[in-house]
Structure 1
Amino acid sequence: MRLLPSPRPRPSTCLFSVLALACSVVAVAAPTPVAAAPVTTITSTWTSDDGQDFTITNHLRNFPGVDRDAAASHEYLVVWAGDVNAADLESGAGGKLHNLPGAAGEAMDSLGRPHTPAVGPDFLAVIDVQKGAPTYGKVVNTVTVPLAENEPHHMQYEWHRGDTIYAGGLYSDVAFALDATNLPVMTLRGVNLPTDTPCGSVPDAFWTMSDGTAYGTWMGGPNLPGPCTYTNGEVRMGNGFGGAPGSVVLLDRNGRTISESPAATPGMEPVPRECAMTPPVEPRTCANPHGIQLREDLNRMITGDFAQPSVIIEDPLPALPPVDVNMVRRTVRIWDISDRKNPKVVSVSRLPDGPRQTKPSDAENMGFMEVTVTNRPGHKGAFASSMCAGAIYYTPDITVKDPQWREVYDQAAVYRAMNDRAKAGMAGSGAGHHGFADSGCEGSGWLQTSPDDRFLYTVTMGRRAHTAEASDPGTPGIVLSLDIRKLLAAGNDVECKIDTETEAFHGGAEKDCPTVHSVLPVDDPTSGGPHWGALDHFVQGPDGKFAETRDPRRLAYSNYFVARTGWDGDHKVCLVTIDDDHQLSLDRDFKDEYTGEPCVDFNRASWPHGPWGDAKPHSMIFVVPDAAFRD
C-alpha cells in the first residue's frame, strides 16, 4: 500500500466497502505556500508488522516572545478534526445534500467564495486552554496523520495521566494510537488497520482502563460478508463492511488488537423483526455498538446500539425514499468484562416506547447513540440517550440479570420551558421572537455523568427551521445539565417514569425525576450545533501542578457531526465555564485568534500544516503533559 500515491481524479464520496482503506489513502497534493508564523516540524514514525511506515507530523508554532518551555506546564484541548473537501459538499447522487433543508450548505470557502476544496490532511489540533496564558485559545500545534479522508470521529471520553489517545476514522476503518506525554508535541504509538479487526468496521468510541488498555466500539459489520470468527473462536454471520453485527475491540497501549468480541449474541435480540439489515442475513441482529462506557469495579460495560452505519453515512435517511426505520436501533447491551480479553454480552434490552405521539423515526426510543455510567461506589446505574428524540433512559443496576430501563427525562421539556421563557420576555431563552418546536428530531449527542454523580451533562445539535416541514420553526442547539441526585438516591426503588405526554413536555411528576439545573443555548445557525463534549477533569494547584478533580469546572463542545449525513455545523469548538453553583456559561475569553469572537473557529484559510482551509472538529479531550502533573 502506498500512503501518498500520485494525484488522480477522485469520486465524490468514499462508499463503504472492503476497499474503504484504499479509498481513504488518496493523494494529498502540496498546497501553495502562504505567509505564516514560523513552524517547527517534528515527525514520529511507526512501522507495521508487514514493514509499512506510518508517520505523523507535528507542526509546532513558534510564538514571538513566548517561552516554549512554559508550554510544558499548560493544559491543552486535543481536537480530532477532518479536512473539509468536495465530497462533504457534494455527497450523494446528484448532490442530494444540497436539496435537503438544514443540509451541508453551498460549496463556499470560509470567505464565501465558491470553490471545490481538495482532499487535505486530517489532524489533531492542540489548543492551549491554560487560562491567562498568552496563547490561550490558540492552536499551538497540528498533528497531521498519514491517511486522508478518515472522517475523524471519536476519541475516548476522558483522558488520565499516562493514557494513550485513541482516535478513530469513521470511513477509513483505522484507529490511531498517540502518546501525549510531551504535549504540545505528540508521537505515534501505533495504527490499528482494517486487517486488525476483520469482524468489525467503522470505529466509533473508546474507553480507557486503569491498566492503560482500552475498549473500542466498531459499529459496523465484518470486512467481508458471511461468517466471521472472533478471537474467542465464536462465529457470527455478518452482512459486510458498515453493516452488522459490530464488535468490541480490546486494544493495548500501542493500538494493537488484543481481542475482538461479538456484540451479537444469538437468541438475545428482544424483537428480531425490528433488526432490519441490508443486505439481509439471518439471524437478524441490532448489534451496532456506538457509545461505550464501563465500571471496572463492577466488571460491567455498556454499549448503545445506534444504527446500521452504511445506510446513515452512504445515503442520509432524509434524502431517500422510504428507508426501513428499523435500520435505527432501540437496544442497549450490558457486558460482563470479568475476563477482560473475552467480554460477554449478558443482557440486551429493548428500551420502552415513550408517550409522545410522533412519527416512528422521531420516537423516544430510536437510535441509542450514547450511554453513560454512574461513578461512585454504591451507585450501579446507567443512562442511555436516544439521538433523534433526546429522551433519556435510566436503569438503577447494570449488574442484575434483567436490567429494568425507564424513561426519566425528555428534552422536549427543555424546549417547552425555553419557549415559555421567551414568551415571558426572559433573557437567555435562545428562542428569539418566534419560538420553536418542542418535539421532533433534535439530534442529542454526548452524554456524561459528573465524577461525583450529581449532574448529567448532554449536548443537542438542534434542528434548522423548516427541516421537518414548511411550518417547522426548528430548535436551537443546547448544552444541558440535569440534577440527578434524587434519582440516584432512590437506589433500586426508583419511582420516576415518563409515561404521559404531560410529563414528556413538562418534566417527570415523581419526586425523584431529574430536573434541569442549567441550560446553555448554542448559537449555530447552520445545519449542526453541538454533537460532542468533554469535561475538564483537571485542576491546577497553587504550585502550578495539576491533579484530577471530581468537581469539573469546565467543559468543551464542538459544533460538527458528519457532513455527509446532512448534519454539518459551523465547525466551532467552545469552552463552557461551570460556576460555583454549577451553572453553565460560555467562556468568552476563549476566542478565535483571527476573528476575535468566542470559540475557536475551524473554518479558516490556513493551519500550521498549510493553507488547507476549513476543517471539521468532531471530538476533543482535555490533556495535561506529564511534566505538569503533581507527583
Structure 2
Amino acid sequence: MRFNSSSGAPPRWRKALTVAGAVALAIGAVTYTGSSASAYADVQVVTDAKTASDGKQYWVQNHLVGKDLAAQARSADGTPKKWLLVWAGDENIADTAVKDVKNLPGSLGGGLGKVKNALPGPDFLAVIDATQGSPTYGKVVNTATVGPLVENEPHHMQYVWHKGDTIYAGALFAAATYAFDVSALPQLKLKGISLPTQTLGGSVPDAYWVLKDGTAYGTYMGGPVVPGPYAYQDGSTQIGNGFAGSPGEVVHFDQNAQVLSQNPAATPQGDNAKLCDNLPQLGKPSCANPHGVQAREDLNTLVTSDYAEPRNIILDPVKQPSPYLRRPTIRTWDISDRNHPKLKAVSYLQDGPRANPADPLHSESRAVMETTVTNLPGHKGAFAETMQGGAIFYTPDITAKDPHWIEVFDDGTAGKPIYSQNDSNGASSNGGWLQTSPDDRFLYHAVQGRQKGALGPDDPGTTGGVYVLDIQKLVAAGDKVEDIKGRVDTLEKAQQGGGGDLPTVVGSAPINPGVPGAGPHWGAYDNFVLGQDGFYHETQQPQHIAVSNYFVARSGLDGDHKVNLLNLAPDGKVAVDQNFRDEFTGQVGINFNRKSWPHGDFGNAKPHSELFVVADQNVK
C-alpha cells in the first residue's frame, strides 16, 4: 500500500507543548499519524505501508528534497551517488531531563520550554549524500520517518551492507525491528516490522548480522517481555525478570523482519553468581544480555557479547545499583543449523593490571559491548571490547570448545595518540564500535572518552575519537593463545602497549578535542569504491569511516548529535574529513541538532548508527 502527498496520506500531526498532552502520551500508546510542514522547498512525500501482525498499518514516509528524483541519484557529471544512512530518534523532554537530574542541586527551571518540541515526534532514517566531490556532499536529501510508533529510541542496524541486503534497524525502547528496502535510494520502502508480541522471549533489540541468504540474527539484550517462565522453541524454559531485564535471546529474522526462531542466550545452570547481578534477583543468576553480534558462516560460529542488564542503566543514570549489572561475558554459538543457533560456550573475560577491587565497575573485564570477527579463511579469531573496562580482548579460535580470551590492548595506550592532553588511563573510556577491516589488517575502534568526574571529583576526563590498530602480527600468530607473544600484564604495558605480536596504534583522530566524553559511540566503514566502469564495487581496503556522537540520552551519556566522516589512508592513518560539512551551519560534521528537517520543524534528533549504502543498480 502506498501513499503520496496528494492522495491518501496519513493525517498531519504536530507536537503540542502542553503538560496535559505530555501526560496523555505517558499514559497511552505513543504513536503519531503523519507529517508536519517543512522549511525545505520542493519536498516530495511518498509513503510505503505494511500490515503488521497486530493487523495495523505501519509505514515509512519518505520526504525527498527536490523535484527530480532521477537527478538526485547522480551527480552533475553522471557519477552515481553513494549514500550514508543514519538511524536517528527525535529528541524530547524525557531525553533532556536526565542532564538536569545529574546536575542537581540546581534549578529545573525552563520546564517544557527548554525543548522547543518537547513531546515525541517521528523517528527516521536520514539519507545523506556521501559522494565525495558531489555538490550536495553532506546534505540530507531524504528523511524517511517511521510510524505510527514514536519513542522507538533508534539504536543499531547491521555492521556493514552488501548489495541486495535488507536493512534491519532496531527500536531499543519499542522492542521492534524494522526491515527496509534500500534498493532504489534515495527512496526507501518498508519490507516489514517485528513487534514485541512476536519476540516474547526477549526485549530491547540491539544489533544485527546479515547472513548470506539475506536473513539476519538480532540480539535482544533484555529478558522475556513478561516476568516468569518462558518456553523457547528448542524445548528449554528460562525464568526471566521482565522487560529489559534478563536473560536475553538471539532472534533469527527473515528478510521482512518476520521471526523464524527465538533462541535463549542463557545456560541451563545459570552464570557466576559473584559476577552476575540481576534486579530483581533471579533464582539462576544470568549475565545473558547479548549486545554485539557477528558470525563466521564458513566456521559455523556466531559470537555475541554481553553488555548489561539494560533497564538499570536507564532507571538510575546517576548512580548504578551494582557494578555487576555490567557483564564480563562472551558467548559462542554453533550455527550449523542456521535457524537454531545452539549456545556452545560462555567465556569470562579476566581483569587486568588496572583492576581495583574497590572499583569493580572499571576493571578491564566490565561491560563487553562489542565483538568483531576476523574475515579471511586462514583466520579463526575474534576481538571484543569493554565499555567501562576500556580494554580490547582477543581469542585466536572461536571454534574451540572453550575459547581462551586474553587482553591485547588497553584504551589508555591510545589516549595520547588521540589527544595529547589525555591521560593514559583506559578505565571508563566508553568504547563502542569495534570492527576489523575486510582484509584483517586493521582494527577500528570508536571511543566516546571518559566523562569528567567518572573516576573521582578531580578526574578531568578524556577526549574521545577514533583509533586504528595494526593487528597483522596478532592474527598471524596462530590458533593458540600460547603462541601469541606479548601480554598486557603491567600498568606500564596498559599505558604503552604489550609488545610482541600485540596490536599497535597506527592512526588516530580526536572528535571534539578538549571536550571530555564527547566522542563517537558508533561507526561504519565505507566498503564501496567507484570503478572505471562507472559502477561501485566492494573493496577490501575501506577509504572512509563514518561515526556518530550519541549513545542513549537517558543513560546520562548523550553526545553532541553530530555525524562525522573520516578519511582512511592505506597505512591506517585516519583524519576527519574537513569537507563533510553541515548544510546550515557550515561547520565540519552533520549536526542533527537543528530546527528543520525535510519532514518538518521537529527540532533536535539523536543519530545512533549509520551505514554506507548504494542503490542496487549502481553496484557490481
Fold shared, TM-score > 0.5 on shorter chain: yes
Q: Which amino acid aligns with 2:229?
A: P
Q: 2:579 — aligned with what?
A: 589
What is the CA deviation profile of residues 324-368 of structure 1, one whole-angstrom value per residue up to 9, with x for unaligned ones?
211111100000000111101100011111111442111100000
Separation in 2, partners of 1:446, 1:342: 27
Aligned to 2:44: 40
Residue in 1 that maps onto 2:22: 10
How far apart, CA to CA, are the structure 2 residues paired with 1:564 and 1:239? 21
Q: How does 1:471-620 map to 2 (within 5 A)?
A: 471-491=458-478, 492=480, 493-509=483-499, 511-523=500-512, 525=515, 528-620=518-610
Choose which of 79, 84, 91 in structure 2 pairs with 1:77: 84
* 1:100/1:274 CA distance change after superposition, 3 Å: farther
Q: Which residue of 2 aligns with 1:385?
A: 385
1:106-138 CA distance string (max 9 Å, x none): 9799xx976462211000000010111111110
Matched, 1:342 2:340: yes
Aligned to 1:421: none
Measure the CA separation in 2 of the matches of 1:134 and 1:550: 27
Q: Residue 11 and residue 221 in structure 1: after superposition, are their counterparts in 2 closer, same or farther (change >3 A)?
A: farther
Q: Does 1:375 align with 2:375?
A: yes
Maintained 8 Å contact 1:217/1:291: yes
Structure 1 moving runs of 4+ over 6 Å: 2-7, 63-66, 105-109
Give the corresponding residue for 2:6.
none
Alpha-carbon displacement from aligned partner over 1:451-484 (angstroms, at most 9, x marks no partner): 0000010000012433433311110012011000
Q: Which residue of structure 2 lines up, in the alignment, with residue 259 of structure 1?
A: 261
Amino acid at match of 2:385: S
2-side partners of 1:393 and 1:138: how far apart?
A: 38
> Once the two structures are aligned, what percentage of the paired residues are identical?
47
CA distance in 2, matches of 1:113, 1:366: 35
Structure 2 Cα separation of the partners of residues 399 and 65 of structure 1: 48
1:195 maps to a residue whose letter is T
Q: Distance in 1 between matches of 2:542 and 2:110?
A: 39
Tell me the alpha carbon deviations over residues 525-549 of structure 1, each in whole angstroms, 9 at most, x when there is no partner: 3753200000111111012201111
**For the aligned residues, what is the CA RMSD?**
2.6
Matches within 5 A, 1:392-471: 392-415=392-415, 417-418=416-417, 430-431=419-420, 435-436=422-423, 438-471=425-458
Letter in 1 for 2:89: G
Structure 2 residue aligned with 1:122: 123
CA deviations over 1:132-171 (Å, ceiling 9, x no partner): 1111110000000001011100000001100000010110
SS in 2 for 1:90: helix
Whether contact under 8 Å (1:218, 1:290) holds in the other structure is yes
Listed as ranges, the gaps of 5+ residues in structure 1 are: 419-428
Aligned pairs for 1:102-121 (under 5 A) are 115=116, 117-121=118-122
Please say which of residues 259-268 and 208-217 is displaced more in the overlay: 259-268
Task: Flag the 1:12–1:576 CA change in 2: closer, same or farther, 3 A.
Answer: farther
Shift of 1:495: 2.6
1:196-275 matched pairs, under 5 angstroms: 196-267=198-269, 269=271, 271-275=272-276
How far, CA to CA, are the matches of 2:432 and 2:276 in structure 1? 22
- Deviation per residue, 1:258-282 (Å, 9 max, x gap): 000000011363x233221111121
Structure-2 change in CA distance of 1:452 and 1:135 (3 Å): same
The 2-side partners of 1:436 and 1:107 are apart by 37
Cα distance in 2 for residues equivalent to 1:62 and 1:366 = 48
How far has the Cα of 1:438 moved from its partner?
2.6
Q: Give the aligned partner of residue 321 of structure 2.
A: 323
Query: In 2, are the aligned partners of 1:98 and 1:106 still within 8 Å (CA)?
Result: no
CA contact (8 A) 2:244 2:311 kept: yes
Instruction: Tell me if the contact between 1:559 and 1:571 (Cα under 8 Å) persists in the aligned partners.
Output: yes
Q: Distance in 1 between matches of 2:25 and 2:454?
A: 24
Q: Which residue of 2 aligns with 1:88?
A: 95
The alpha-carbon deviation at position 99 of structure 1 amounts to 3.4
Q: Tell me the SS of whatever aligns to 1:297.
A: helix
Alignment of 1:33-182 (within 5 A): 33=37, 35-62=39-66, 67-70=71-74, 73-91=80-98, 95-99=100-104, 115=116, 117-146=118-147, 147-182=149-184
Matches within 5 A, 1:285-304: 285-304=286-305
Contact map agreement 2:11 2:35 (CA 8 A) in 1: no
Contact 1:107 1:116 in 2 (8 A): no
Task: Work out the CA distance in 2 between the residues paired with 1:3 and 1:485.
Answer: 56
Q: Is the 8 A contact 1:409 1:508 kept in 2?
A: yes
Which stretch has the larger CA shift, 466-475 or 325-334? Answer: 466-475
1:361/1:559 CA distance change after superposition, 3 Å? same
Q: Which amino acid aligns with 1:9?
A: G
Q: In the aligned structure 2, how far is the partner of 1:106 from the partner of 1:530?
A: 30
Contact 2:334 2:343 in 1 (8 A): yes
- Residue-pair matches, total: 596
Looking at structure 2, the residues matched to 12 and 536 of structure 1 have their Cα atoms a distance apart, in angstroms, of 43
Matched residues in 1 for 2:105 and 2:521: separation? Answer: 20
**1:494 alignment partner AA:** I
SS in 1 for 2:274: helix
Counterpart code for 1:329: R
CA distance in 1, matches of 2:110, 2:184: 38
Query: Is the Cα contact below 8 Å between 2:364 and 2:427 reproduced in 1?
Result: no
User: For 2:225, what is the secondary structure of its paired residue?
Assistant: coil
In 1, Cα distance between the equivalents of 2:54 and 2:141? Answer: 34
Tell me the SS of whatever aligns to 2:174: coil
TM-score by length of 1: 0.90
